[in-house]
Amino acid sequence: MSGPTNPNLHEMIEKDVAGCDVFFNLDDFGEWHDIDGRRMVCVIDDSGAAPFAATSMGGRTIGRTPLDASRSMGVLSTVRTVIYVRLSDYGPRPAIGRTILLDKRRMKVEALSEDAGVLALTCEEVRV
């Protein structure tokens, strides 16, 4: 005779993602965003996305400087953002290098991963 089985962490995360219990809950971490013209609940992580400006010489990047120091020079800055969205809401994964629109901001997909029904898109936005 076997008793009830306890769910493992992976199963608990899948249940949470499907039911919007915590991670995608609008009262906790989730927020409505527009991605490529479709409204969906996402979690945006730009905490490690301190803007940096590319410093170039002869067309090649030779380093990065903090954005506030480079604004007066009129150079481009790059901001890295990770977008977490339910795979079921997003649909087919975008190709690496594809440009997506997040709330009308153009972002290039640099990397992506999927686990327990959550798609993580690491994107880079170039600003002037």
What total number of domains does the chain contain?
Answer: 1
Residue 3, domain member (yes or no): no
3-state SS assignment for residue 100: strand
Q: Which residues contact 29 (CB under 8 A, 6 or more apart)?
A: 22, 23, 43
Structural domain range at position 118? 9-127
Handedness of CA 31, 34, 81, 42 (dihedral sign): positive
The reported pLDDT for the residue numbered 78 is 79
Residue 2, domain member (yes or no): no
End-to-end distance of the chain based on CA atoms, in angstroms? Answer: 67
Residue 45, domain member (yes or no): yes
Closest Cα partner for 83 from 49, 42, 116, 30?
42
The pLDDT tens digits of the residues spanning 36-83 come to 999 999 999 987 654 444 444 444 433 444 444 444 455 567 788 999
User: Structure pTM?
Assistant: 0.68
